[in-house]
Chain A
């Protein structure tokens, strides 16, 4: 493999030996890629602070001796300064990176996935929209790109449209399909996640919006929390694992609620 340079987002870094690290980067054209960063822990000068979690960087990657490619150069494109010093934002960014790590195939081009994560991290850092709404938006777009976007427009069982369905509705987590209140009882043993019609409509609006448009949508706290709970159950179910960052996010949300403050964690 000849050397190539690429924009990249740091998804994960694992210490290797005393001085090196193995990094997982998300790039637009090479997708998720693992690289070996020699002396990354010892030599501050070589990568000069570029190898931090969720850092947006410009990387030069070359052929390694083994199976892993080698990181030859890395320069920070965007340090996301506000994000790194706010533990709530950092927890959200960790969660998104974990989703991308779990749901992205190694080596397959990911221009849309890269654009989504880049846009979400930048918006979180610059506070382009409320972190909670941004979290919902990111997860919806991630689900769409990963091929398991929930089908919320019609009842899976009787076919009734969302607007015409009775107030009580739910989503079948396994199939991602809406189930109306009339079909609950005979639906079988699939796990159902109850979700109001308002929350489903909010999900459909947000799914159709980009960050600029979504920033103007105001969600009431009940709808926002219901959408978040649903997506944080639905997406890990389809990825087959619960991201570790989700436990930390849950912890800081519950601490905020205990303190009686406004919970603005995504």
Chain B
């Protein structure tokens, strides 16, 4: 890397700190940035600064937003009575991409994980209870992941919500489309058999 001038070396070092970027990829990206037009490089730099300045957590759902309350929370076309509880923004985005849900979200910012020292006070559970207490929500869908921590968190939340005037549901789990039964774990198969449905 010594053969590069100091400015490029600095850029490579910064790019290398990004997840999944090793030295060779960082070099390739840096050389690309050297070659692109100045306005494109400025646009990239501006976007990075803009993200750092503007993006914050939505004060209602704790998703990412440029404003105090995000577009999903303010949208009049979304069903305000349906609240989907997810672990992180990436799970919210996955559900949004599916197009299957038209309610609002609550992002916990993690899951209960006793061994990692993550307890209820480290998550946005208190805020979830406040949202439910405000009224207007008829169903809370617990869409945490189906790993052990996600299941435990869902059970914990369902217990907290059991005396509230809302229906509490858990997302279904089963065999993935295009999946091969031979490679599906026994618990998933058991649940898939238990929740089978009639055809026709």
Contact = CB atoms under 8 A, between A and B. Distances in A.
Chain A interface helix/strand/loop/mixed: helix
Contact of A248 (B20, B112, B184, B188): B112
The size class of the interface chain A forms with chain B is 20 to 34
Contact of A52 (B112, B117, B148): B148
B115 interface: yes
B156 interface: yes
Contacts, number: 70
Interface stretch (A85-93, A119-127, A175-183, A219-227): A85-93
B45 to A, nearest CB: 26
Q: Point out which of B114, B155, B176, B180 has the most chain A C-beta atoms below 10 A from its C-beta.
A: B114
B39 to A, nearest CB: 32
B197 interface: no
A245 B114 contact: yes
Interface string A173-214: 000000000000000000000000000000000000000000
Nearest to B170: A85
A180 to B, nearest CB: 37
10 contacts: A18-B20, A45-B183, A48-B185, A53-B148, A84-B148, A85-B151, A86-B152, A87-B152, A94-B115, A244-B116
Interface of A: 12, 18, 44-45, 48-50, 52-54, 76, 79, 81, 84-87, 90-91, 94-95, 97-98, 244-245, 247-249, 251
Give me the 4 closest cross-chain CB pairs, A-B, nearest first: A49-B185, A245-B114, A244-B117, A248-B114
Interface of B: 19-20, 112, 114-117, 119-121, 147-149, 151-153, 155-156, 176, 180, 183-188, 190
